[in-house]
Structure 1
Amino acid sequence: MAKIALGTSREAAEPDCIKALIVEFITTFLFVFAGVGSAMAADKLEASSLVGLFAVAIAHALVVSVMISAGHISGGHLNPAVTLGLLFGGHITVVRSILYWIDQLLASSAACFLLYYLTGGLTTPIHSLASGVDYLQGVIWEIVLTFSLLFTVYATIVDPKKGALNGLGPTLTGFVVGANILAGGAFSGASMNPARSFGPALVSWDWTDHWVYWVGPLIGGGLAGFIYENFFIIRTHVPIPTEEVRF
């Protein structure tokens, strides 16, 4: 069973960690810029609900697949739920996970503030629950959608025995993000990503239902990482050593 590696405070000053944080910021920024930008464009063009949803799904699918590949130095997480899922699988330390989460939130906020400026102050659309969807339903939607995202990440990218899928992981992950938006976008908004929800909420200063997009994705991501790592992966290497955090 994978053990959670705590890491040490020295990690923050290590060159490889600094480089990873820079890459993670850039890729998360570009992901949110394209994702939120596509939603703003759909609103500006007054596209029908179905056309707008399809356009947003395609934009997210494309940018996710590209940014995961481009962010290979950091792992291309783009998402605190992905980071948590990999933490529960023993692939990243607690210390580096916290640094990644801060990085991802800052990148998302920066992307949304820039979009607000470039669009002349257009409303930055937030994730919120659709009419008739209650909190429990919204949380379950986000748990299931994020679980499928992390399960795909593990099966196509993390698992050393991915076989014929080797190299296709980023593209397939993008596909599942797009499919999940088509499935859940009309109900929960299909965030699957606390950082993706945080930036628009901050810029719009509208925190309606915002907690749902932390609780659901983090539960779904953590659960998928724990289950896949401990029940489906057979490893021959030594995991990250667990250490006490030293400050």
Structure 2
Amino acid sequence: MTSAESKSELFTVATGDGGDNHQNQPKKLPFFEHYIQPCLAEVVGSFLFMFVGCVSVMGNVGISGSIQPALAHGLALAIAIAIFGEISGGHFNPAVSVCVYLIGGMEVILLVPYIISQMLGGVIAASLAKAVTTNDAFSNATGAAFNAIPSSDGIGAATMAEMIMTLFLTIVVSMGAVNGRTKSQLAPFCIGLTVTANILAGGGISGACMNPARAFGPAVVSGHWTHHWIYWVGPLTGALVTVSIVRLVMGDKKVRVIFK
């Protein structure tokens, strides 16, 4: 299989017109590589990225600022996308998967399995993070669950922050890794840097999750479900706003639904 027929074509918008000769179409992958291997890559990639993230949060308790978790999350995500991107697209985030599907970047049959795989990876990551840290560190960090919202007064701001930060993240994913006209080889590192920037900017408001699976795993392991819904509603809303922007105005001709 040539580089032009790589697995990543399963998760990006097709570049050929309907009338192209069949000889120019990518070869069909075996069932395992088409459906099973991408889901396994999402489990493993989500686990590695979220394990590093959870441990960095537990190790940052008592330290002012969020440089350590910001760098840890961003670097781990960039590396995981670079390694697994050719297999699964390197989503590791239900909000990203929903966004990529809605802009035409993946098959609907893979959407739910991807989300389940990401949540499973998050639970495994949080469980092993608990196993390698002390009880005090785990308790003080609430098991790396998101507890940045001190009271109900901050719910609106936190939800809005999660929406905007996820909007930024999914715009970078959509334009850097899916949209044919703007795709870049630097997409993994742009995505990682976006996560780092968002954590530095919004960590004090909501914890800067941007990822329902990253919130779900630690919540399961620690039993901390307070305000957990924010980390689903905010990111998914941000992803839907991105879909609207890309589909209506920012996508290339194959992605836009108007002004073709």
TM-score where L is the length of structure 2: 0.79
**1:158-209 CA deviation, whole Å, 9 max, x = no partner?**
12222xx721111111111100001110011100000000111111101011
Q: Which of 45, 48, 56 is matched with 2:69 structurally?
A: 56
Q: State the shift of 1:229 in Å.
A: 3.2
The equivalent of 2:115 in structure 1 is 101
Q: 1: CA distance between counterparts of 2:54 and 2:243?
A: 27
Identify which range, 129-138 or 198-207, moves more after superposition: 129-138
Residue 124 of structure 2 aligns with an amino acid whose one-letter code is A
Q: Which of 63, 78, 81 is matched with 2:95 structurally?
A: 81
Q: 2: CA distance between counterparts of 1:128 and 1:95?
A: 34
Q: State the shift of 1:231 in Å.
A: 1.8
Equivalent residue runs for 1:1-247 within 5 Å:
14-15=31-32, 16-43=34-61, 46=62, 48-50=63-65, 53-72=66-85, 73-121=87-135, 122-123=138-139, 124-131=143-150, 133-162=153-182, 166-235=184-253
CA contact (8 A) 2:173 2:191 kept: yes
**1:60-82 CA deviation, whole Å, 9 max, x = no partner?**
11011111111111000010000
The equivalent of 1:244 in structure 2 is none
Identify which range, 74-83 or 215-224, moves more after superposition: 215-224
Tell me: higher relative CO, structure 1 or 2? Use CA pairs within 8 A at least 6 residues apart.
1
Q: State the shift of 1:225 in Å.
A: 2.6
Q: 1: CA distance between counterparts of 2:240 and 2:147?
A: 22
Structure 2 vs 1, CA of residues 211 and 236 (structure 1 numbering), >3 Å: closer, same or farther?
A: closer
CA contact (8 A) 2:55 2:133 kept: no
Q: 2: CA distance between counterparts of 1:220 and 1:135?
A: 16
The equivalent of 1:6 in structure 2 is none
CA contact (8 A) 1:65 1:173 kept: yes
Q: How many residue pairs get matched?
A: 220
The equivalent of 2:3 in structure 1 is none
Q: State the shift of 1:230 in Å.
A: 3.3
Give the secondary-structure state (helix, strand or coil) at the position aligned to 2:149: coil
Q: 1: CA distance between counterparts of 2:109 and 2:177?
A: 23
Gaps of 5+ in 2: 1-12, 14-29, 256-260
**1:67-106 CA deviation, whole Å, 9 max, x = no partner?**
1111111000010000011121122233311010100001
**1:107-153 CA deviation, whole Å, 9 max, x = no partner?**
10011111111224433121134336522211111000000000111
Q: State the shift of 1:221 in Å.
A: 1.2
Q: 2: CA distance between counterparts of 1:195 and 1:80?
A: 7
Residue 75 of structure 1 aligns with an amino acid whose one-letter code is G
CA contact (8 A) 2:78 2:188 kept: yes
Give the secondary-structure state (helix, strand or coil) at the position aligned to 2:60: helix
Please tell me the root mean square deviation across aligned C-alpha atoms, in Å: 2.0
Q: State the shift of 1:219 in Å.
A: 0.7
CA contact (8 A) 2:162 2:209 kept: yes
Give the secondary-structure state (helix, strand or coil) at the position aligned to 1:185: helix
